[in-house]
């Protein structure tokens, strides 16, 4: 068996049109889900009435179902639902919008857990220290707790982003013309599936690698205050992707660390 | 200056503080001693409003009221007039040594930045940490961190500074540098309440020793009274145990 390198070069050229599509899905999902995930995490930590159990339900629902099922449900239910409101034009909406919705909803759940565990890793003693120098709980939260929580959230945000990049390849199911979809279509003409998939693989590798590098710079910049204890350098090897879900899932709910103990103050 | 009457506090069904009267006068250096679990930390935390008391009254810094029903304003007043030095230092990890001290001055006490810096540098100099202004807490030894913790507290010129076992988390060779700073503060007339197992400090620096057990003040008096002529068997027993360990 030999690889048809001409065909690969051709796929490489045409699939590049899918790169902006993939990036768009990832960026839109990230930009929307970061703030919402953060707010949801606060809702959980401060046990906001009514909302907190709803967020919890939402998170467990999203995390407990396969992404592919979420995609199929949104893609089949949402257009008809929309049609009852805006009529038949609902069926001619660019499918990338459904990709935005699915991947955003999915990321919100992941990032809620990321922010929640990050906020709980900051020792609440520092909050008390803030109160004892006369600062309000909110001031201490914003100036002391939050910056540290964001730094400790960064590795897991990186992981969530890498997963998002890779998961976005499932957008082809919704007939979104992303990298995967374009390569698949081309391969279907000539049955050169292996070659097409190798090209897809390389594209995702490049994108994920670039994302990892970007986040590494962010991490390094924002964790200046811990420079001595964790002198991290970027791991230049390929295939070094962190295995995400473990760290997120391993953080168990620990009421002793709850910042909420001070809500009454 | 600070008067607490009949303070009670429970965690769940367990009563931790069983009606405590506690008085601090200007210039007092009071050491609070007692077995582990007797409620010393809880007493300090309740007085400083880190915990809410169930019953009892406070009279301090113009606030007179029931500890269970302090207004937001009362709580703020109390907090702005006390200093607290924690067992685990609790420095702000994302702030430098200097920022750890200026933070409260600027954010809570609204002192202009330049002036706050001058005050902070003076406080850091007093604890021997003026050479470490740009260090982050992760770059400091335990003894250095605790001295920054003390500088952070004294910079605010609180009426009373509370210390909760300030040397317990330190390696033995670092205890001395922190005790030295505390002794110096006492000599300068600072009003201090110190939970400690350092009996030398209790005997030689304090003017008053309070012995607590089981959520109650068992005995209080001058160091000579408590160490040389303890009246209550419980006190005698505790001192015998702790002094035999050194
Ligand atoms: N947040 C808390 N929740 C429940 N029990 C607590 C809490 N803090 C302290 N206690 C209990 O209160 C008692 C007194 O604790 P503490 O004031 O820390 O004693 P000390 O400082 O004298 O060792 C202990 O039995 C401790 O277990
Ligand atoms: Mg204690």
Q: Could you tell me if residue B44 is inside a domain?
A: yes
- What is residue A248's predicted lDDT score, i.e. its pLDDT? 37
Per-residue DSSP letters for B184-231? HHHHTT--EEEE-S-HHHHHHT-SEEEEEETTEEEEEE-HHHHHHS--
CA nearest to B162 within chain A = A132
Nearest one of B245, B246, B200 to B227, comparing CA atoms: B200
Asked if residue B220 belongs to a domain, the reply is: yes
Check residue A257 and give its pLDDT: 40
Cα dist from A144 to A220, A253, A260, B100, B232, whole Å:
18, 22, 16, 10, 46
Residue at B32 is within a domain: yes
Q: Is the CB of B8 under 6 A from ligand 1?
A: no
Residue A80 has pLDDT above 90, yes or no: no
In this model, does residue B233 exceed pLDDT 60?
A: yes
A205: tokens are 């590798």
CATH number of residue B68's parent domain: 3.40.50.300
Secondary element (H or E) of residue B129: none
Contact A180, A18 (CB under 8 A): yes
Whether the complex's predicted ipTM is more than 0.90 is answered with: yes
pLDDT of residue A238: 53
CA proximity to B155, closest of B183, B122, B107, B181: B122
Distance from CA of B203 to the nearest CA of A (A): 28
What mean pLDDT comes out for the span A100-122? 95
Instruction: Band the pLDDT of A81: cuts 50, 70, 90.
Output: confident
Does residue B199 lie within any of the structural domains? no
* CATH code assigned at A70: 1.10.3720.10
Closest Cβ opposite residue A134 in set B80, B86, B92 = B80
Domain that holds residue A130: 5-264
pLDDT for A93 equals 84
Q: Which of B84, B98, B107, B164 to mutate to test the interface with A (most CBs of A within 10 A)?
A: B107
- Indicate whether B96 belongs to any domain: no
What does pTM read for this prediction? 0.83
- Of the pLDDT bands very low, low, confident and very high (cuts 50, 70, 90), residue A263 is very low
Structural domain of B5 = 1-81+204-246
At A255 the pLDDT is: 39
| Mean pLDDT over each residue of chain B, to the nearest integer | 94
Mean pLDDT over A55-83 rounds to: 90
| pLDDT for A28 beyond 60 | yes
Mutate to test the pocket of ligand 1, among B33, B39, B51, B196 (most ligand atoms within 8 A of CB): B39
B123-182 confidence digits (pLDDT tens):
999 999 999 999 999 999 999 999 999 999 999 999 999 999 999 999 999 999 999 999
Confidence of residue B116 (pLDDT cuts 50, 70, 90): very high
Say yes or no for a CB contact (<8 Å) between B92 and A130: yes
- When divided into structural domains, chain A yields a total of 1
**Residue A249: its pLDDT value, please?**
34
Phi, psi of A27 (to 5 degrees): -65, -45
Number of structural domains, chain B? 1
A215-228 tens-digit pLDDT = 998 888 888 777 65
Instruction: List the one residue out of A137, A43, A9 whose CA is nearest residue B50.
Output: A137
Q: Is B37 in the pocket of ligand 1 (CB under 6 A)?
A: yes
Summarize pLDDT for B74-115 with one digit per residue, the tens. Answer: 999 999 999 999 999 999 999 999 999 999 999 999 999 999
Q: Which of the residues A125, A126, A132, A222 would you substitute to probe the B interface, choosing the one with the greatest number of B C-beta atoms within 10 Å?
A: A132
Res A79 pLDDT > 90: no
Model pLDDT, residue A243: 41
State residue A235's pLDDT score: 66
Q: Is residue B38 part of a domain?
A: yes
């Amino acid at each position: 068996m030999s690889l048809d390198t001409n065909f690969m070069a051709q796929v490489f050229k045409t699939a590049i049109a899918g790169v902006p599509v993939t990036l768009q899905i990832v960026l839109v999902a990230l930009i929307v889900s970061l703030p919402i995930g953060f707010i949801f995490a606060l809702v959980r930590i401060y046990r906001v009435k009514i909302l907190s159990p709803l967020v919890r339900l939402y998170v467990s629902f999203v995390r407990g179902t396969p992404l592919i099922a979420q995609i199929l449900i949104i893609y089949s239910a949402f257009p008809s639902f929309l049609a009852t409101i805006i009529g038949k034009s609902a069926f001619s909406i660019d499918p990338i919008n459904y990709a935005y919705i699915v991947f955003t909803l999915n990321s919100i759940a992941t990032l809620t857990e990321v922010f929640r565990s990050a906020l709980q890793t900051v020792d609440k003693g520092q909050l008390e220290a803030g109160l004892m120098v006369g600062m309000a709980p909110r001031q201490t939260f914003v100036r002391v707790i939050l910056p540290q929580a964001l730094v400790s959230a960064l590795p897991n945000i990186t992981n969530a982003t890498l997963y998002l990049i890779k998961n976005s390849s499932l957008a082809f199911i919704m007939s979104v013309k992303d990298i995967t979809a374009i390569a698949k279509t081309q391969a279907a003409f000539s049955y050169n599936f292996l070659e097409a998939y190798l090209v897809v693989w390389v594209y995702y590798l490049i994108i994920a690698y670039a994302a990892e590098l970007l986040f590494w710079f962010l991490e390094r910049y924002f964790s200046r205050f811990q420079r001595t204890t964790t002198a991290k350098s970027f791991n230049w090897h390929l295939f070094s992707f962190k295995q995400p879900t473990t760290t997120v899932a391993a953080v168990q709910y620990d009421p002793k660390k709850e910042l909420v103990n001070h809500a009454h103050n | 200056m600070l008067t607490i009457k009949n303070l009670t506090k429970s965690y769940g069904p367990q009563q931790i503080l069983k009606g405590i009267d506690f008085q601090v006068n200007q210039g007092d250096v009071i050491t609070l001693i007692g077995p582990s679990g007797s409620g010393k930390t809880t007493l300090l935390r309740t007085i400083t409003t880190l915990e809410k008391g169930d019953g009892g009254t406070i009279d301090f810094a113009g606030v007179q009221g029931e500890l269970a029903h302090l207004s937001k304003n009362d709580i703020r007043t109390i907090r702005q007039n006390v200093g607290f030095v924690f067992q685990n230092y609790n420095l702000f990890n994302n702030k430098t040594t200097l920022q750890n001290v200026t933070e409260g001055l600027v954010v809570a006490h609204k002192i202009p930045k330049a002036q706050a810096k001058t005050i902070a540098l003076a406080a850091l100099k007093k604890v021997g940490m003026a050479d470490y202004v740009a260090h982050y807490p992760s770059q400091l030894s335990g003894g250095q961190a605790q001295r920054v913790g003390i500088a952070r507290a004294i910079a605010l010129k609180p009426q009373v500074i509370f210390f909760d076992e300030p040397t317990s988390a330190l390696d033995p060779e670092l205890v001395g540098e922190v005790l030295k700073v505390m002794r110096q503060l006492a000599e300068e007339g600072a009003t201090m309440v110190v939970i400690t197992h350092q009996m030398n400090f209790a005997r030689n620096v304090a003017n008053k020793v309070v012995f607590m057990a089981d959520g109650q003040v068992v005995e209080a008096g001058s160091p000579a009274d408590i160490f040389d002529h303890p009246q209550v068997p419980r006190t005698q027993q505790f001192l015998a145990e702790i002094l035999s360990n050194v």
